[in-house]
Amino acid sequence: MTSNSLISNITQHECICQMITSNKLVSALNYFQINQTCQLYSSNLSLISIEFYLNSTFIFINQSSISITNKCSITKCRSKIADSISRNDTYNTTNSFNECMYCMEAQYPNFPEDWSNRWYTQDILILTGAGHDCTGNPYYGNLTQCQMFCLRDPTCVGFSREKNLTDSNILAECFLKNNIQLDQTYNSTVWETIVFNSTS
């Protein structure tokens, strides 16, 4: 979807009029009430992905079929859950946290179950050092436990772990990292880095 124009200091009704009377093939608008800003969009695609914010209104024109899917705010939800776990506060994300709206339900002391699919492996070793190690290293556990250690630390983006472990249930050291862009060693014969994808 292409943004045709951005208009400031305009009401929502005026924005709708702009969309309807535009000479371009404008098919949608996004209106931000908080600063009275209007974005006009055009698209000839049949499937469009839109990131939705609660303080905005998205309006379509001449669309025969519209399906809007709300998006989980992974970073905010993760931080809220991690904070509750650190304080031993029980929770059900559906009832407790606005930050976890549109995320799969989770109960203390767990994170949403579908987040287990958000991990991917990179064939790099992140060397131990200031600026990219989380506090508390090394941790010790199986693969799932190391993932949980990382999720519970909102600064953690991934962890280095031995790559030649034949079973994910084998207990081993894992080194949590808050930055995987520094001191990378590629094709290590011993280590790999497992990264959490916090984006869509």
**Over residues 9-35, mean pLDDT:** 75
pLDDT for 72:
86
pLDDT for 32:
76
Which residues, in sequence order, are bridge partners of residue 186? 124
Q: Is the pLDDT assigned to residue 130 strictly greater than 80?
A: no
Q: How far apart are CA 151 and CA 78, in angstroms?
A: 7
Bigger pLDDT: 186 vs 85: 85
Q: Mention every residue, 6+ apart, whose C-beta is less than 8 A from residue 129.
A: 182, 183
Percent of the chain with pLDDT over 90: 45
Structure tokens, 125: 């070793």
pLDDT for 62:
57
Give residue limits of the domains in the chain: 2-60, 71-111, 116-200
Assign domain 116-200 one CATH number from 2.60.40, 3.50.4, 3.30.70, 1.10.10: 3.50.4
